């Protein structure tokens, strides 16, 4: 893979060219196959910035081209030998040319990659002076946009209404993906703008709203498995080491708590009027009909201990997966919802509830913080998060922590026993 960045005012243009061994179908770190649509994209910053450290440009490019790179990557600006080593040890990829010093790890500020969803609002609540960097999708000049219902403009407007220190970065990088749909080539591509701005904003870390499920329980695409070594979000994983080498460690302030906790914090937050996880809704509110709206409504109803408020029936395609037996992506939250929503047997989750047999007791661990997640936060920001969790959430007991650490093993066996009666 050969990668080059050119600058035109506020706009940074990335072009990448495949080597003979590369292919346009590749695999994301989480295992998802992806097919390339085009080999160029741009990142538009809100202002001109001094030339970023070459390692920042390289990590931003890598978050876009990694799935399609097999053996080597050649950047247009020399990267530090340390970054080349992180690419070699993480991916087995020869990266170069290498010379010079890595970016110093002395940036002072911690920015938040802010999407506007409940998880990032919870982080915003915890880090109430962190500047926001919001990624806004824009169309690609060479790829037809079949996703006009995706209202990136609405999400950006809601971010602006928070009144927080906000930097909006616009990009068409999601359209480099043809299959399965436009989206981030790697999850980390959401940080492309933050990487390009890191020197300008004096950033020493980037907070993201990945929670307990994504960090420790296997997340959405990785099913039902305890993942201390999560290659995307563990500090010692390949991506964690790469970002840290560029002086911008990834920080997960809500990595120890479930979406039940982030939802509660977000709903109680001053920013609650601006919380929005649905990508399709307009200014008036979320669409209420997509799969994400259904999933988040289950969590919100459970947190508020009230019946589900939805017009979606079990027959609708977005509810189909809940008619099949587990495992499910984000299963811990389906258990939480089934345990707490009154009248669950009259909802699209009735079958799932039957299979899971969850009770308020069996899901109590999802209302507490998993302590090892706090230890992963860089020391200079740790105490603040630790104190917040002690005061507002509370920590898991040893038994509860064991629920995390046996997720997908002992837990899965329970279900083998109960599903076939």
- Quickly count: other Cβ atoms within 10 Å of residue 290's Cβ: 18
Contact between 293 and Zn ion by CB under 5 A: the answer reads yes
Contact between 290 and Zn ion by CB under 5 A: the answer reads yes
Q: What are phi and psi of 401, to 5 degrees?
A: -60, -30
Backbone region of residue 92 per phi and psi (left: phi > 0; alpha: psi in -120 to 50; beta: other values): left
From CA 227, how far away is CA 42, in angstroms rounded? 33
Parallel/antiparallel/unpaired status of strands 94-98 and 72-79 = parallel
Q: Which helix (H) or strand (E) holds 239?
A: helix 238-245
Closer of 93 and 318 to Zn ion (Cβ):
318
Site for Zn ion in 110-149 (CB under 5 A): none
Q: Is 242 exposed, middle or buried (0-12, 13-18, 19+ CB in 10 A)?
A: buried
Contact between 318 and Zn ion by CB under 5 A: the answer reads no
Exactly one of 14, 208, 275, 278 binds Zn ion (CB under 5 A); that residue is 278
Closer of 255 and 286 to Zn ion (Cβ):
286
**287, 293 in Cβ contact below 8 A?**
yes
- Quickly count: other Cβ atoms within 10 Å of residue 98's Cβ: 16
Token reading at 386: 């630790």
Closer of 42 and 296 to Zn ion (Cβ):
296
From CA 184, how far away is CA 182, in angstroms rounded? 7
Contact between 85 and Zn ion by CB under 5 A: the answer reads no
Closer of 109 and 280 to Zn ion (Cβ):
280
- Minimum separation from the CB atom of position 352 to Zn ion (A): 19
Total number of residues that touch Zn ion (CB under 5 A): 6
Stretch that binds Zn ion, among 60-68, 121-129, 145-153, 291-299 (CB under 5 A): 291-299
Exactly one of 49, 178, 267, 287 binds Zn ion (CB under 5 A); that residue is 287
Closer of 149 and 305 to Zn ion (Cβ):
149
From CA 212, how far away is CA 370, in angstroms rounded? 8
What x-and-dash track marks residues 238-277 binding Zn ion by CB under 5 A? ----------------------------------------
- Minimum separation from the CB atom of position 292 to Zn ion (A): 5
- Residues near Zn ion (CB under 5 A) are 278, 280, 286-287, 290, 293
């Amino acid at each position: 893979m050969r990668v080059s960045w050119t600058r035109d005012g506020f706009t940074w243009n990335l072009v990448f060219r495949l080597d003979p061994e590369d292919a346009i179908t590749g695999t994301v770190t989480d295992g998802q196959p992806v097919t390339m649509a085009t080999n160029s994209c741009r990142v538009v910053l809100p202002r001109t910035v001094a030339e970023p450290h070459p390692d920042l440009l390289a990590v931003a490019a890598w978050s876009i081209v990694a799935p399609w790179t097999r053996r080597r990557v050649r950047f247009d600006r020399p990267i530090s030998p340390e970054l080349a080593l992180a690419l070699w040890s993480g991916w087995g990829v020869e990266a170069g040319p290498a010379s010079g010093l890595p970016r110093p790890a002395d940036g002072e500020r911690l920015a938040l990659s802010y999407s506007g969803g409940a998880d990032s609002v919870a982080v915003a609540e915890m880090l109430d002076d962190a500047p926001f960097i919001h990624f806004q999708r824009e169309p690609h000049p060479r790829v037809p946009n079949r996703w006009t219902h995706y209202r990136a403009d609405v999400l950006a407007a809601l971010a602006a209404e928070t009144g927080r220190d906000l930097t909006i970065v616009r990009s068409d990088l999601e359209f480099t993906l043809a299959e399965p749909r436009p989206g981030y080539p790697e999850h980390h591509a959401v940080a492309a703008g933050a990487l390009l701005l890191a020197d300008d904003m004096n950033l020493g870390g980037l907070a993201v709203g990945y929670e307990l499920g994504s960090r420790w329980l296997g997340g959405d695409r990785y099913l039902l498995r305890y993942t201390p070594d999560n290659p995307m979000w563990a500090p010692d994983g390949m991506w964690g080491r790469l970002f840290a080498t560029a002086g911008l460690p990834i920080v997960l302030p809500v990595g120890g708590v479930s979406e039940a906790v982030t939802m509660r914090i977000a709903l109680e937050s001053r920013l609650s009027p601006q919380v929005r996880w649905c990508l399709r809704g307009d200014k008036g509110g979320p669409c209420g009909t997509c799969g994400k709206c259904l999933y988040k409504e289950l969590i919100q109803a459970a947190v508020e201990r009230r019946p589900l408020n939805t017009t979606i029936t079990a027959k609708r395609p977005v509810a189909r997966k809940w008619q099949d037996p587990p495992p499910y992506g984000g299963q811990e939250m389906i258990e939480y919802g089934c345990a707490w929503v009154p009248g669950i047997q009259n909802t699209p989750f009735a079958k799932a509830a039957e299979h899971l047999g969850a009770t308020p007791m069996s899901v109590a661990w999802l209302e507490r913080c998993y302590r090892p997640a706090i230890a992963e936060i860089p020391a200079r920001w740790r105490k603040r998060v630790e104190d917040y969790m002690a005061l507002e959430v509370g920590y898991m007991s040893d038994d509860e922590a064991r629920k995390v650490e046996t997720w997908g093993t002992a837990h899965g066996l329970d279900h083998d026993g109960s599903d076939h009666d």
